[in-house]
Amino acid sequence: MQKIVTLKPFVHITATAPISVHTHGGRAKCLQRLIRLNLPVPTTVALSFETVTRIAAGQLPSMTSILSEFGSDPLLSVRPSSEDPDWGGPGAILNIGMNWDRHAALSESLGEPAATALYLRFVQAYSVHVARLDPDMFEQPEKVDRKALDRALDTYQDETDDPFPQDPAAQLGEVLRSMARAWGGTTARLLRQAKGAPADAGLGLVVQRMALGVGPGESGAGVIQFVDPATGEPQITGRYRCQSQSRDALKPGKGQVYLTRDERGPSLEEIVPEIFADLCRYGALCREKLREEMQLEFTIEDGNLRILDALRVQRSSRAAVRIAVALADDGIIPQSDALLRIAPRALTEVLHPQIDPTAKRVLATRGIGASPGAARGKIVFSSTAAQASAARDEPCILVRRETAPEDIRGMHAARGILTERGGMTSHAAVIARGLGLPCVVGASSVTISHRSKTLTTAEGKVFAEGDEITIDGGTGEVLAGAVPMLEPALDDSFRSLLSWADAVRDIGIRANADTPADARLARSFAAQGIGLCRTEHMFFEQDRLTVMREMIFAKSAGDRAAALEQLLPMQRADFVELFEIMQGLPVCIRLFDPPLHEFLPTDRSAMRGLAESLDLPIAEITRRVEQLTEFNPMLGMRGVRLGIAMPEIYEMQARAIFEATIEASRNGDPIVPEIMIPLVSANREVELVKTRIDAVAAAVRNERGKPFDYRLGVMGETPRACLRADEIAQHAAFMSFGTNDLTQMTYGLSRDDAGRFMSDYVNQGVFREDPFHMLDVDGVGELLKLGAERARATDPDIVLSICGEHAGNAESIAFCRDVGFDYVSCSPFRVPVVRLAAAHLAL
Ligand code: PEP
Ligand code: MG
């Protein structure tokens, strides 16, 4: 016969009571730990998730049996206890049990004003949070006295047609019911889901005997923590307030006392030194035994210290890193735990640039700094525009009245978010923090018109789409124009954490770096080399652009060679600088890739300028521009196709690389450059290019009388390159998969145009995620696997990697590691994130 087990709907928390985070929530479990550490915690009872679910459904357990746990006539508090404290929950309700009888008794022991204050506070909280009456009617009166209490009780009766409940059991039952139901409400559900809570996340409740912070002797309430939440440095911070309850201590007002000695006023350390010492001892004990920096919520009741609650100290990402590293350094947690405590994406927040404090600032408006870091870019007013801007590689700030879930793709694409409405927990704020994006919300003095695509400040200044602004997600400032930035200061803790990550990870990490600035950043983030230097980016500077255009307009191979001759020293200098910055680390240089028309002007006046500088008739310029224009340029005359059709470009680049190799090798170990051929789809392309580059190498060795080596590789970014990787690998020392183009070609989806319909595709479930953002493991991944297997079948030692944007995405590198790639190469700012993500995968 099946045994029927009836679980008790509540548990009195003792050192040995059966309490778990998964059945009673984090707060209940934490209180049990405090009890085990012998901290003076008032009597507490925990209600399980299951009990709370039942209460929400109308099945209330016996209130008298709960009340009997607390002895006679207790005052109680109820607090939420969800599995993860970050998931929120209904606010605490205090002083349950207050009625006229208790008021009379407490007037005797504490004095009438204290008893009245306790009762009034309960009536206010009960009316607003339990009876759901209008909060405006229960605002804190200027003077707390019998009149104010009577007024509140009358208002309650007028609004509900019932007198204020006097039975403590009825009060407690209603409080529990309202909190249980609040958890199921839409707002609460959406907010916690944005923080990663599962749809069926449970809520536990803890009922605790109140320690009264009002009354005779030293009485009051406070919170104390032992680290600075912004930096993570050891420092006692918090508040204490005499004659107050719970978190009232945090509000400014009468009775405020500093925690530590302070010349501005009295401190807890001086008033009750032994209690202050106990608090410090408890803090240290929690740190050691709970292996976490905790904030203690305490009450002093007539000179007796009570610890009501302990919460993980809220912290910035920077502080989180410092705290985790300090705990590991002190031997409290292993280094592996410190690594796992930091979500890789949290590092993006630490890494964000800040506005240069010496820069000139023109304040446009101000809002709430909701997600740290500064960002600058062109204003866009829609998610579609943000995606289009990202596709053009133009940094943008997404400006919305408020954001909604359908804006998520635009938020991904933007460098920062600015909203007119909303607060710290608005959609924009929550999501931006999750993404590590700088965000300012609630800039309520501006007027945003999505229709006319303008943002108008209170002073009447109008910003249009495309105008540049800078936002500071820390201070909430919005500045006109693109303001100079300071690179983030990366402290010792950050470096320690990442060095531990490097010790455990088992996949290499390089950076995509095109310029000396990128290369320096890559080195400062300890990238193991450059995995992709897109050389075309070196030609966009104005002086080079002109020469580049001369080269494009050359009528003969001889004229082209003459223009290339001018580019050669510039390229050589670029490479020398890169080699010197990278100090012997591998540098993989990709030969010229984009279609030539990208270097040509499109508007009439620029064409006229070009005609003048080349001394050609404008008609000739227009004709050539038209000639070079392609309908689908990403599939046209680009990559290795240019290398085959106009071999002089690659020859010039190879010569620049080799001459730079000799020059930069002079002072140190010999440099072995890596040269990569883009957009390969056939073995013969590699053979042809290789023959020419070998010839250039031989010529340079001959001319300079200096030996050097180089490694030739290919980019696997067409489906055919993956399918024929066995053949292609015969001539390649390495193969780097360009998942941007490979995604484009696998789907037949234009990289530049997909933004227009991507949100429809994701919303309707055609794609689970934007495949240009998250590697499509099922399709593109299959090609990568095939390519890797086939290349390795020909050459087991061939070096395999990816260098598309996906290399910076923590989930996508899990795939790369599974397939056995040697390294991933991502943009410099992603390097630290990927170092940590790779360590997580290996742990
Ligand atoms: C790629 O296609 O993945 C790649 C890295 O090259 P690009 O983005 O320059 O085309
Ligand atoms: Mg590519």
- pLDDT, mean over the chain: 91
Q: 534: Cβ below 6 Å to ligand 1?
A: yes
Any ligand 1 atom below 6 A from CB of 717: yes
Distance, CA of 69 to CA of 27 (rounded, Å): 19
Query: Does residue 372 contact residue 476 with C-beta atoms inside 8 Å?
Result: no
Any atom of ligand 1 within 6 Å of the Cβ of 803? yes
Tokens linked to 54: 């039942």
Please tell me the predicted confidence (pLDDT) of residue 304.
96
* Ligand 1 contacts CB of residue 740 (under 6 A): yes
- Predicted pLDDT at 405: 62
**Of the ligands numbered here, which is closest to the C-alpha atom of 514?**
1
Backbone torsions φ then ψ of 533, nearest 5 degrees: -110, 110
Residues β-bridged to residue 221:
241, 299
For atom 10 of ligand 1, the residue with the nearest CA is 741
Cα of 650 vs centre of ligand 2, distance in Å, is 17
What's the CA-to-centroid distance between 95 and ligand 1, angstroms?
Answer: 63
User: What ligand is nearest to the CA atom of residue 804?
Assistant: 1
Q: Are 471 and 395 in contact (CB under 8 A)?
A: no
CA 637 to ligand 1 center in whole angstroms: 15
Pocket test for ligand 1, best of 715, 784, 816 (most atoms within 8 A of CB): 715
Q: What ligand 1 atom has the least distance to the C-alpha of 739?
A: 3
CA contacts within 13 A on the Cβ side of 835: 24
Q: Distance from the CA of 637 to the center of ligand 2, in angstroms?
A: 13
The pick from 392, 518, 533, 534 for probing ligand 1's pocket by mutation, whose C-beta has the most ligand atoms within 8 angstroms, reads: 534
Ligand 1 atom index nearest CA of 678 = 6
- Please report where in the chains the tokens 């001759």 appear, as a residue: 565
Q: Residue 512 CA: which ligand 1 atom is closest? A: 5
- Interval between CA 824 and ligand 2 midpoint (Å): 15
Q: Which residue has the CA at smallest separation from atom 3 of ligand 1? A: 738
Ligand nearest to the CA of 784: 1
Encode pLDDT of 56-79 as tens digits.
999 999 999 999 999 988 999 999
CA of 781 to the centre of ligand 2 (A): 16
Best residue for ligand 1 mutational test, from 740, 752, 812 (most atoms within 8 Å of Cβ): 740
406 CA to middle of ligand 2, Å? 29
Ligand 2 centroid–CA 738 distance in Å is 5
Ligand 1 atom 8: residue of nearest CA: 740
What confidence score (pLDDT) does residue 507 get?
97
What are the backbone dihedrals phi and psi of residue 271, each rounded to the nearest 5 degrees, phi first? -70, -50
**pLDDT tens for each residue of 712-758:** 999 999 999 999 999 999 999 999 999 999 999 999 988 767 766 77
Q: Is the CB of 738 under 6 A from ligand 1?
A: yes
The residue whose two tokens read 């652009």 is 545
Instruction: Tell me, in angstroms, the distance from the centre of ligand 1 to residue 9's CA.
Output: 59
Whether 442 is in the pocket of ligand 1, judged by its Cβ within 6 Å, is: no
> Is the CB–ligand 1 distance for residue 776 below 6 Å?
no
Run of H or E residues at 53: helix 49-56
Which-ligand-closest: CA of 534? 1
| C-alpha span between 684 and 19 (Å, rounded) | 68
Give the whole-angstrom CA distance, residue 408 versus residue 430.
11
Report pLDDT for 451: 87
Nearest ligand, measured from the Cα of 825: 1
- Whether residue 803 lies in the annotated active site: yes
Determine contact, residues 642/596, Cβ cutoff 8 Å.
Answer: yes
- Spatial strand order of the sheet with 439-441 comes to 363-366, 477-480, 468-472, 374-380, 396-400, 416-419, 439-441, 368-371
Decide: 453 and 377 in contact? Cβ < 8 Å.
no
Q: Show the domains of the chain with their CATH numbers.
A: 10-209 (3.30.1490.20), 220-315 (3.30.470.20), 353-486 (3.50.30.10), 505-595+639-751+779-842 (3.20.20.60)
Residues present in the chain in total:
843
User: Closest residue (by CA) to atom 4 of ligand 1?
Assistant: 738
**Residue 741: CB within 6 Å of ligand 1?**
yes
Report the complex ipTM: 0.99
Low-confidence ranges of the chain (pLDDT < 50): 1-6
Please name the residues in contact with 292: beta carbons below 8 A apart, sequence gap of 6 or more. Answer: 286, 312, 327
For residues 364 and 463, is the Cβ–Cβ distance under 8 A?
Answer: yes
pLDDT score of 406: 64
Is residue 827 within 6 Å of ligand 1 at its C-beta?
Answer: no
The contacts of residue 263 (CB under 8 Å, 6+ apart) are none
Ligand 1: residue of 538, 803, 827 to mutate (most ligand atoms within 8 A of CB) is 803
Per-residue confidence (pLDDT) for residue 434, from 0 to 100: 59
Task: Return the pLDDT at 424.
Answer: 66
> Phi-psi region for residue 266, left (φ > 0), alpha (ψ -120 to 50) or beta?
beta
Residues forming a β-bridge with 823: 508, 801
Q: Which residue has the tokens 């031997």?
A: 331
Write down the H helix ranges in 666-738: 683-704, 719-723, 725-728
Atom of ligand 1 at shortest distance to CA of 803? 5
Tell me whether residue 456 is exposed, middle or buried, using C-beta atoms within 10 angstroms of its C-beta: 0 to 12, 13 to 18, 19 or more.
middle
What letters, b where the CB count within 10 A reaches 16 and e where it falls short, cover 249-279?
beeeeebbbbbeeeeeeebbbebbeebbebb
Q: Is the overall model pTM greater than 0.95, yes or no?
A: no
Residue among 427, 597, 773, 840 flagged as catalytic: 427
The residue whose C-alpha atom lies closest to atom 6 belonging to ligand 1 is 738
Catalytic residue among 30, 722, 803, 816: 803
Is residue 514 within 6 Å of ligand 1 at its C-beta?
Answer: no
| From 681, 741, 821, mutation site for ligand 1 pocket: most ligand atoms within 8 A of C-beta | 741
Give me ligand 1 centre to Cα 361, in Å: 37
CA of 741 to the centre of ligand 2 (A): 5
368-371/485-486 β-pairing: unpaired
CA 768 – ligand 2 centroid, Å = 23
Report DSSP state, residue 139.
P
What is the per-residue pLDDT for 598? 80
Q: How many angstroms is it from 726 CA to the middle of ligand 1?
A: 22
CA-to-CA distance for 370 and 723, rounded, in angstroms?
47
What is the best residue among 642, 717, 809 to mutate for testing ligand 1's pocket, by most ligand atoms within 8 Å of CB? Answer: 717
